[in-house]
């Protein structure tokens, strides 16, 4: 990677990195498109990072298809696919030094996934160190992750631009996710409730509703009606992640829910009145 990066820089070209855990879908591939629009040379990493999985989570059964990923990434125009082993990334098993978020990681997904964002930020910091990209591209679907990565770059004075691309959805609205492969067809139907709930809240917001509790309750109603169990539904500031009582354009309503044994997340950015 260092050689490829050095050669690219020697040509005066800009470098973009798209970090992923693989089992690529159209959501990941649009990140490659965005990266391509911002840089001359695009690398994608595929690494199921053990450090961001908690005990009892799905590290062992997380879907993997490296050959297929390599074909998809190449066909979409990625110049390099980096797929290290866990032993290459963490030669001592666990890192001595980790990036620990002091704020913002103990809420939303962090409530039930303690240590998750420490794992995410540590591996992203390593990938940024390996590639020294001009720009790294993340997805809005993992909104808390993107917010914390932006904050890490700011607080640690890293020299990289962070881009966040919109969530790509299945025709019914379900946000694409490698974890959707866990869903039975009945569960896949039920899972549409996440996006349907967020669409309903967005419609209420467009119609003038500004009360957070009312917007959140409208989503909870849609989830319950489809037998989907919400883990959290919250409206927050997109940068500080602080809870908001009053809705405004740019605020994010984020949720996590269990469909059967699968944990899914989704969110919506509340639009400008003309948006």
Report, as residue numbers or ranges, the catalytic residues: 28
Should residue 176 be labelled a site residue for ligand AMP when binding is judged by CB under 6 A? Answer: yes
Min separation Cβ 139 and ligand AMP, Å: 2
Q: Count the residues of the shown chain that bind ligand AMP, applying the rule CB under 6 A.
A: 16
* Residue 47 vs 90, nearer CB to ligand AMP: 47
Q: Please check whether residue 130 is in contact with residue 6, taking contact to mean a CB–CB distance below 8 angstroms.
A: no
Min separation Cβ 211 and ligand AMP, Å: 29
Q: Please check whether residue 104 is in contact with residue 147, taking contact to mean a CB–CB distance below 8 angstroms.
A: yes
Should residue 255 be labelled a site residue for ligand AMP when binding is judged by CB under 6 A? Answer: no
Would the CA dihedral through 209, 212, 215, 217 be positive or negative? negative
Q: Please check whether residue 200 is in contact with residue 218, taking contact to mean a CB–CB distance below 8 angstroms.
A: yes
Min separation Cβ 27 and ligand AMP, Å: 2
Should residue 20 be labelled a site residue for ligand AMP when binding is judged by CB under 6 A? Answer: yes
Print the SS3 string covering 197-265: HHHHHHHHHHCCCCEHHHHHHHHHHHHHHCCCEEEEEEEECCCCCCECCECCCCCEEEEEEEECCEEEE
Print the SS3 string covering 152-184: HHHHCCCCCEEEEECCCECCCCCECCHHHHHCC
Single out the residue of 15, 21, 35, 265 in contact with ligand AMP (rule: CB under 6 A).
21
* Residue 90 vs 247, nearer CB to ligand AMP: 90
Single out the residue of 8, 144, 177, 180 in contact with ligand AMP (rule: CB under 6 A).
177
Where does this chain touch ligand AMP (CB under 6 A) — which range of 27-35, 125-133, 187-195, 233-241?
Answer: 27-35
Q: Please check whether residue 258 is in contact with residue 188, taking contact to mean a CB–CB distance below 8 angstroms.
A: no
Contact map string, positions 28 to 47, toward ligand AMP, x by CB under 6 A: x--x----------------
| Phi, psi dihedrals of residue 50, rounded to the nearest 5° | -60, -30
Should residue 191 be labelled a site residue for ligand AMP when binding is judged by CB under 6 A? Answer: no
Where does this chain touch ligand AMP (CB under 6 A) — which range of 54-62, 77-85, 136-144, 237-245?
Answer: 136-144
Should residue 139 be labelled a site residue for ligand AMP when binding is judged by CB under 6 A? Answer: yes
- Give the Cα separation of 52 and 105 in Å (integer): 12
Should residue 192 be labelled a site residue for ligand AMP when binding is judged by CB under 6 A? Answer: no
E strands present in 34-143:
41-46, 80-82, 135-139
Q: Tokens 């005066």 map to which residue?
A: 12
Where does this chain touch ligand AMP (CB under 6 A) — which range of 21-29, 188-196, 227-235, 259-267?
Answer: 21-29
Residues near ligand AMP (CB under 6 A) are 20-21, 27-28, 31, 138-139, 141-142, 165, 167-168, 175-178
């Amino acid at each position: 990677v260092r050689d490829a990066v050095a050669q690219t820089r020697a040509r005066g070209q800009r470098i973009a990195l798209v970090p992923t855990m693989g089992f690529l879908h159209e959501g990941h591939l649009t990140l490659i498109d965005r990266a391509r629009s911002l840089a001359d040379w695009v690398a994608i990493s595929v690494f199921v990072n053990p450090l961001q999985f908690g005990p009892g989570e799905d590290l062992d059964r997380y879907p993997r298809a490296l050959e297929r990923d390599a074909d998809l990434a190449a066909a979409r125009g990625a110049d390099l696919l980096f797929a290290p082993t866990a032993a290459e990334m963490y030669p001592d098993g666990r890192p001595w030094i980790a990036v620990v978020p002091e704020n913002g990681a103990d809420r939303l997904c962090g409530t039930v996934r303690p240590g998750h964002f420490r794992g995410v930020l540590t591996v992203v910091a390593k990938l940024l160190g390996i590639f020294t990209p001009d720009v790294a591209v993340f997805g809005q679907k993992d909104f808390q992750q993107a917010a914390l990565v932006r904050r890490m770059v700011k607080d640690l004075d890293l020299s990289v631009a962070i881009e966040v691309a919109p969530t790509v959805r299945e025709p019914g609205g379900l946000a694409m996710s490698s974890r959707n492969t866990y869903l039975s067809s009945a569960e896949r139907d039920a899972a549409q409730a996440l996006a349907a709930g967020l669409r309903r809240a967005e419609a209420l917001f467009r119609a003038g509703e500004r009360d957070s509790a009312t917007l959140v309750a409208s989503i909870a109603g849609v989830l319950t009606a489809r037998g989907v169990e919400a883990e959290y539904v919250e409206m927050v500031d997109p940068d500080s992640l602080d809870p908001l009582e009053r809705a405004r354009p740019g605020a994010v309503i984020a949720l996590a829910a269990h469909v059967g044994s699968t944990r899914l997340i989704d969110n919506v950015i509340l639009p400008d009145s003309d948006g």
